[in-house]
Homo-oligomer: A and B are copies of this chain.
Amino acid sequence: MFTSRAIGFVSSPYKDAGQVPKGLGAKHEADGVLTILPEFEVGLTDIEGFSHLVVLWEFDRSHGFELLGTPPSDNRAHGVFATRSPRRPNPIGLTIVELLRRDGNELRVRGVDMLDGTLILDVKPLLSGVPFEELRRGWLAEAEARKR
């Protein structure tokens, strides 16, 4: 077990959860900045070479968890581990962003869906993808089909 620590924070256009695009067909194309704290900046060495990053961050404005919940994209309840709900046993969020540019300890990225000021826990390079045609998307695909 460990206690989380912030390595930086997100600057995002979203000031509260109601502003983040959610539900079916939501697009995450907003630009933002990941500011890494100066004491961790050396850890960014050579990150410029990667086109996409996995950002792990803390759901720091969400409290407690629920094992079943109804997401914005459906009117049926699903298990928390089958959704992206913020109310998880470990409040860790994950976003894949495109790296546009690094300026020192600031990473300019596209595709943020975090709230402004969100604490960053980790950044990792995205090394492989699963082809979209190989992906089955369970209840989400069913909810999309029902709305068509």
B1, B5, B136, B142: the one within 8 Å of A89 (CB): B5
User: Hey, which chain B residues are within 8 Å of A18, CB to CB?
Assistant: none
In the assembled complex, the CB of A44 is this many whole angstroms from the nearest CB of chain B, namely: 5
Q: Contact: A94 with B138, CB < 8 Å?
A: no
Give the distance in Å from the alpha carbon of A40 to the alpha carbon of B5 in the complex: 25
Q: Does A92 contact B (CB under 8 A)?
A: yes
CA distance A141 to B79 in the complex (A): 38
A80-122 toward B: CB 8 Å interface, digit per residue (1/0)?
A: 1111100011111010100000000000000000000000011
By the criterion of a CB under 8 Å from any partner CB, how many residues of chain A are at the interface?
61
Per-position binary interface string of chain A over residues 115-139, scored 1 when its CB falls under 8 Å from any chain B CB and 0 otherwise? 0000001111111111110111111
The interface residues of chain B lying within 8 Å CB-to-CB of A81 are: 36, 40, 43-44, 47, 122-125
Asked whether A68 is an interface residue with its Cβ less than 8 Å from the other chain, the reply is yes
Q: How far is the CB of A12 from chain B (nearest CB, A)?
A: 19
Q: Which of A81, A122, A135 neighbours the largest number of chain B CB atoms within 10 Å of its CB?
A: A81
18 intermolecular pairs with C-beta atoms under 8 Å apart:
A1-B5, A2-B58, A2-B90, A4-B4, A36-B81, A40-B81, A42-B79, A43-B80, A43-B82, A46-B79, A46-B138, A47-B79, A49-B136, A49-B142, A50-B136, A52-B135, A84-B125, A92-B122
